[in-house]
Chain A
Amino acid sequence: MSLRPQKIEFDVVWGCLRQTVDKVLKLNRVERDDWNSSFTDVYTICVAFPEPLADRLYAETKLFLENHVKVQLEEFNCYRTENNDGENGQMMLHKYYSAWKNYSQGLEYLNYLYQYLNQQHIKKQKVSEAEILYGNGTTPLAISQEQMEIGELGLDIWRLFMIQNLGDILVKQILQGIERDRLENNLTSKDIETIHGVINSFVSVQDYKKKGSLHLYETLFEEKLLEASGSYFMSQASKLLQSCSVSQYMQEVIRVLDEENVRAHKFVHMNSVKKLKKECEDRMISDHKAFLYSECKEMVSNDKRDDLRNLYILLKPLQDGLKELIQILLEQIKNEGAESIMNLKGENVHIQFVENMLQVHQKYENLISETFKNDPLFLSALDKACASVINSKLSDGKTTCRSAELVAKYCDNLLKKSKSTESEIESKLSKSITIFKYIEDKDVYQKFYSRMLAKRLIHDQSINMELEEVMINKLKQACGYEFTNKLHRMYTDIGISVDLNNKFNQHLKNLNDELNINLSIKVLQAGAWPLGPQTNISFAVPQEFEQPIRKFESFYNSSFSGRKLTWLHHLCAGELKVSLAKKSYLITMQTYQMAMLLLFENCDSMSCKEVREMLQLSHDNFQKHLQSLIDSKILNLDTEKIEDASIISVNLEFSNKRTKFKITASLQKESPQQEVEQTITQVDEDRKLYLQAAIVRIMKSRKVLKHNALIQEILSQSKVCFAPSIPMIKKCIESLIDKQYIERTANSSDEYSYVA
């Protein structure tokens, strides 16, 4: 054969070709030779001489396809008139499906056969996308009579004849089929395949279009599907509502949702799955929200997790669907939290407070992770509720909130005398941080914590220095470097002191000196420890102490320069060996008490006045420590009350079962209540300074700022430490204006400017 254009008789060539076309469309067997020569036929027609006959071939093929489809359509005529219910309808669907299957298959082959025409003739005519976009070179003719590739042409013809005529009947049958699947669930896999195939034909028939390829599917089928499904869901819902409890209803709805999901994937196009789900949610959930919520409170308060999980699943997809549930949960946590820490009594209030609150927190954290998939909305509700409980003012008339103090005490308790193992303590400390994070007045916590830490460190009450450091680091992680700066300095002072003592002992050894007492000295740096002013405590140091003090000071001054030491005798304690007639005792007591007893080494009795003047103790200090020695029966007093003239003498008859014990003069100077109040006022002072510093910092960088903007900045800066009250901020602003750090601007009453 030759590829050169040649003169042909169209009717003859088409006559041959036509037979192959017919066979292909009917999926009959085509001999290889016939198939090959048909290719050639298409080619020769397209390149025919003197003029190509492609257009004629196109027209003939189109006519042929139209006739072919028309014949097919006639077979469905019976269904168009009759009432097609049940079996009959199924039959029609099957028939249509197999006709479509054959046709689309044949068409695919045909498209292949006409490849030359498609590629060379039609593609060239096609208006390129760019041309469509910019409107160039498009004559009206080109658009209306545009030729399509043969495959596309075939599909279009199918649409025009079959779907246009049969569409509505088909859709009706499909919907009936789907409804049967819903109600009776007895479709065979063949039925399912057919329905899916028919629905798919609505899509495939326009698949080639670049734009709006789903248009036919949507208008012909999807709309009706959604409508029918909607009314099915509605009736389903009202049927369920009559017989079910909320809990059952939710289970049913979830089941329906799941089934519908499977069904959607089984039958319809991907695009409809979501729409169908939405329809189901609207009809079965949104429309009955009030019903679902009717038992929500009980579910939360009775901890019905299965129901809550279902409720969450149902409400999650709705817009704002969870709002109410979250609100109810929030209230519940608030109530339960408040209840758990109400009316706490006894010595262990701090333990109860932290542990009860933790229990509530843990319970709901667990609930949220188990039933609400750790939804951030719920977690933030938990945070909100806990913060509000922990920071709420107590209702018993006191205005201050004790949470900060209680949590600090809880930690103190753990680090002081717990019997638990190290890892237990550590995990408890970590948990206390959970509560700590909710505290607004973190500065109050800091004050209490640092006082308690100081006591633990000075009196060697910490069970474990590593744990002290761990805790400080945890606080640092939560609040930053500044917050724990002083705590950390206290901690390191103790470590440095241990070192210093070792060096001092070595130093003495080198000098061949001996102190005869077991001396351990803690050297604290001023400013880091919350010890208050020490200047006014008078005390004449007895000679027994003076020697070690002198030696240590000279050692210290040789190690450091520019430092001076102040001795805090009220914090010192020691062991005194008391040898009496019958036994000797090892008694632990404070320095002042030791000093008093040491006076009686050389004389048996003295008047109070003498003792006091010898030691130069203040009246209060003297009374307190003397009293403790009298109470423990080491010293005798000849009068009821301590008076200047009263005579003190050593009780030589003293006896105690134990040979080693401790005299505790009320170590605390103030009662705890006083101490708490003192702490609070101190915190208030610190806050004012903090706020003033913050205001100056902000104003210095902004130069001019409106009142409200300034307040906002201050609030956000101080959030880490505490929540300042607006009146306090205003006072601080006023005082800074008085001190001429800032001033009100001339042109506006609520604007400040920085005074450089």
Chain B
Amino acid sequence: MDEEDKISDSENQTKPEKMFTLKRWNSVAMWSWDCSTDTCAICRVQVMDACLRCQAESKKDATNKDVTCVVCWGECNHSFHHCCISLWVKQSNRCPLCQQEWSIQRLSS
């Protein structure tokens, strides 16, 4: 404690004295997918959670830790679980929300 004080004293002498200095910041942030909607329109599950299929699978096989069920954005900026939309696209190559032709803009990671 004393030593620390000495150090801070010496700092005070060298630097112009500042009344308040930020020393440490423990900050908390929350990440979520950058989507306009919270739920996947295909499986009706939150995009933050794994899609229905993946949930059922991890339930069956409890040792299997979270299957990475990623999110997929189309050019139309609509987003779905990648698992869900890839199944959908096999039937019709259009976005289920806006009927535009589906092409992948990016995948989440």
Q: Which residues of A contact B (CB under 8 A)?
A: 458, 460, 476, 480-482, 489, 516-529, 531, 534, 544-545, 548-549, 552, 556, 560-569, 571-580, 583-584, 586, 591, 594, 597-598, 600-601, 650, 659-660
| 12 other A-B residue contacts (CB within 8 Å) besides A520-B27, A523-B30, A552-B29 | A519-B24, A520-B24, A520-B26, A521-B26, A521-B28, A560-B108, A574-B23, A577-B8, A579-B12, A579-B19, A579-B20, A597-B20
Q: Which of B20, B33, B49, B109 interacts with A598 by CB under 8 Å?
A: B20
**Would you call A566 and B30 a contact (CB within 8 A)?**
yes
Digit string of B66-109 for contact with A (CB within 8 Å is 1, else 0)? 10000101000001000000000000000000000000001111
Q: Which residues of B have CB within 8 Å of A520?
A: 24-27
A525-B31 in contact given A480-B62, A579-B12, A579-B17 (Cβ < 8 Å): yes
Q: Which of A481, A525, A545 interacts with B62 by CB under 8 Å?
A: A481
Q: Which residues of B have CB within 8 Å of A523?
A: 29-31
**Would you call B33 and A563 a contact (CB within 8 A)?**
yes
Tell me the complex Cα distance, A574–B25, Å: 4
Q: List 22 A-B contacts (CB under 8 A).
A: A476-B62, A520-B24, A521-B26, A523-B29, A525-B31, A545-B25, A548-B25, A548-B27, A560-B31, A561-B108, A562-B107, A564-B31, A568-B30, A572-B25, A572-B26, A574-B23, A574-B27, A577-B21, A584-B9, A586-B23, A597-B20, A600-B19
**Would you call B20 and A524 a contact (CB within 8 A)?**
no
**Would you call B30 and A534 a contact (CB within 8 A)?**
yes
B37 in contact (CB, < 8 A): no
**Would you call A481 and B8 a contact (CB within 8 A)?**
no
**Would you call B46 and A527 a contact (CB within 8 A)?**
yes
A-B contact count (CB 8 A): 161
**Would you call A521 and B29 a contact (CB within 8 A)?**
yes
Q: Which residues of B have CB within 8 Å of A578?
A: 19-20
**Would you call B21 and A460 a contact (CB within 8 A)?**
no
**Would you call A562 and B48 a contact (CB within 8 A)?**
no
**Would you call A660 and B1 a contact (CB within 8 A)?**
yes
**Would you call A527 and B48 a contact (CB within 8 A)?**
yes
Q: Which residues of B contact A (CB under 8 A)?
A: 1, 4-5, 8-9, 12, 17-34, 46, 48-49, 58-59, 62, 66, 71, 73, 79, 106-109
A567-B31 in contact given A586-B23, A594-B22 (Cβ < 8 Å): no
Q: How far is the CB of A35 from chain B (nearest CB, A)?
A: 80
Q: From A545, which residue of chain B is reached at the shortest CB distance?
A: B25
**Would you call A600 and B25 a contact (CB within 8 A)?**
no
**Would you call B26 and A460 a contact (CB within 8 A)?**
yes
Q: Which residues of B have CB within 8 Å of A571?
A: 28
Q: How far is the CB of B23 from chain A (nearest CB, A)?
A: 4
Q: Which residues of B have CB within 8 Å of A519?
A: 24-25, 27
**Would you call A529 and B108 a contact (CB within 8 A)?**
no
Q: Which of B5, B8, B19, B34 has the most CB of A within 10 A?
A: B19
**Would you call B30 and A517 a contact (CB within 8 A)?**
no
Q: How far is the CB of B68 from chain A (nearest CB, A)?
A: 12
Q: Which of A562, A573, A586 interacts with B34 by CB under 8 Å?
A: A562
Q: Which of B5, B18, B23, B48 interacts with A525 by CB under 8 Å?
A: B48
A524-B31 in contact given A561-B106, A577-B21 (Cβ < 8 Å): yes
Q: Which residues of B have CB within 8 Å of A522?
A: 26-29
**Would you call A531 and B30 a contact (CB within 8 A)?**
yes
Tell me the complex Cα distance, A722–B51, Å: 25
